[in-house]
Amino acid sequence: MLKVAIVGSGPAGFYVAEHLLKQTEVPVRVDMFDRLPTPFGLVRFGVAPDHPKIKSVTRVFDKIAKNPLFRFYGNVEVGKHVTLSELKQHYDQICFATGAQTDRQMGIPGEDLPRSHAATEFVAWYNGHPDFCDCQFDLTAERVAVVGVGNVAVDVARILSKTPDELAKTDIAEHALEALRHSKVREVYMLGRRGPAQAAFTNPEVRELGELEGADICVRPEEVTLDPASQAELDASDDDTPKKKVSILQEFSKQPRAGKKRLLTLRFLVSPTELVAGPDGGVRAMRLARNELYSENGKLQSRATGVIEELPVDLVFRSVGYRGVPIDGLPFDQRSGVIPNDAGRVVDPATGEPIPGLYVSGWIKRGPSGVIGTNKKDGTETATSMLEDAVAASAATLGLTDPSVVDALVRGRQPECVTYADWARLDAIEMSLGESHGRPRVKLTTRAAVREALTKG
């Protein structure tokens, strides 16, 4: 029996488990660990609350978890409650699917001023992540800038622009709903450093921004008129997606304002160069460099033209991408923020050889890109490597440790570990709380609330 530990219970981890458990050639047991008490990673703490369909992927994960050869240990942190060397003693293979747990920096003066935040923190806060419940965002601010034009920036801009009634129909964390009810935000800017054809957001996501109940959309026609290089790139491409993206944005630029309470403005070809402090020490404005595009290694990049403008904003969310963090005992590529690997096999950078028994999947393997479904192919690739290695290994290396040994070890170290059966109870509690509030779910957002719910139930 191949014994596998998966660290991280987001889609990257679950898709590895799925592939391992559905094949029949190699008998496998899978134990999944997560430092948080609840499973699903960014499906629970990243996907926007007003996008419930995306979250329905958890039904697939529930099915995987029903397999008797699968166990979930939530609230158990590898490196704290159990060490990597202990995992190595009890498992033949360990797969890290820990995602990209921090944010990228812009590297400009004033980036760390009060009222300048990583968008990832805001996302974790409104999604009820237990480590971010106590974050404070000054929503008395009237003008907010979201730097970046990826899908996370779209989520943040949309949540800031939605009405409390719209938000109340979602599973947004109660503390965030309450804070956003009192929001004074009137204007939201999304800032792209390149042009509309290079924007990272996907078409359905940006289209939604033109249909908001409480906010008009504003795009400057001159910023979505393509430069010759972008036009040539689109003309030469067989892919219609960027062409559609540009045409959605050009339509926005013609959309008359309907006098809604808020205004959401999408800007292109501008880069923040400095955040300016006001008398209270917090952000008062942002200096923006006007950009032009130039071609470098076959890619259109931005560079400053020398024209600077000042945008008065008093709250800033930096949404310029996530970044992986190193894991004790594993190599790490600082430049790309991932664990060096070959088809999911962790590779020693000094020798270029795989390190036996160690694997990666998801964002810590390939970087923070793609949608949830991207992890299925990615997880399948890693699981295939794991199975190939298991077949190649002699039977002697695949020992017969009694599964109750790990169970006793984990429970000894973390008596408050959360099993999948516990999660099923929490899930039912959250849904029933939601029902009584006319909402799809009311999340238990602190470790104490989870503990209390499990003890009571």
Contact residues: ligand NAP, CB under 6 A = 106, 147-153, 155, 192-194, 198, 200, 205, 271, 319-322, 368-371
Nearest CB to ligand NAP, comparing residues 54 and 393: 54
Q: How far is the CB of 92 from ligand NAP (least distance, A)?
A: 32
Q: How many C-beta neighbours within 10 Å does residue 393 have? A: 15
Nearest CB to ligand NAP, comparing residues 106 and 285: 106
Distance of alpha carbon 119 from the chain centroid: 10
Nearest CB to ligand NAP, comparing residues 71 and 194: 194
Q: Which residues pair with 353 in a beta bridge?
A: none
The answer to whether residues 216 and 259 touch, using CB atoms and an 8 Å cutoff, is yes
Nearest CB to ligand NAP, comparing residues 311 and 453: 311
Q: How far is the CB of 102 from ligand NAP (least distance, A)?
A: 12
Nearest CB to ligand NAP, comparing residues 265 and 385: 265
Task: State which H helix or E strand residue 30 sits in.
Answer: strand 28-34
Q: How far is the CB of 120 from ligand NAP (least distance, A)?
A: 8
Token couple for 265? 């403005």
Gap between the Cα atoms of 306 and 290, Å rounded: 7
Gap between the Cα atoms of 445 and 232, Å rounded: 49
Token couple for 255? 């959309």
Nearest CB to ligand NAP, comparing residues 150 and 337: 150
Q: How far is the CB of 196 from ligand NAP (least distance, A)?
A: 11
For the chain, the residue count is: 457
Say which residue the tokens 């969310």 belong to. Answer: 317
Q: How far is the CB of 32 from ligand NAP (least distance, A)?
A: 22
Q: How far is the CB of 321 from ligand NAP (least distance, A)?
A: 4
Gap between the Cα atoms of 115 and 285, Å rounded: 11
Q: How far is the CB of 372 from ligand NAP (least distance, A)?
A: 7
Residue 46 Ramachandran class (φ > 0 left, ψ -120 to 50 alpha, else beta) = alpha
Nearest CB to ligand NAP, comparing residues 149 and 387: 149
Single-letter code of the amino acid located at 288: L
Nearest residue (beta carbon) to ligand NAP: 150
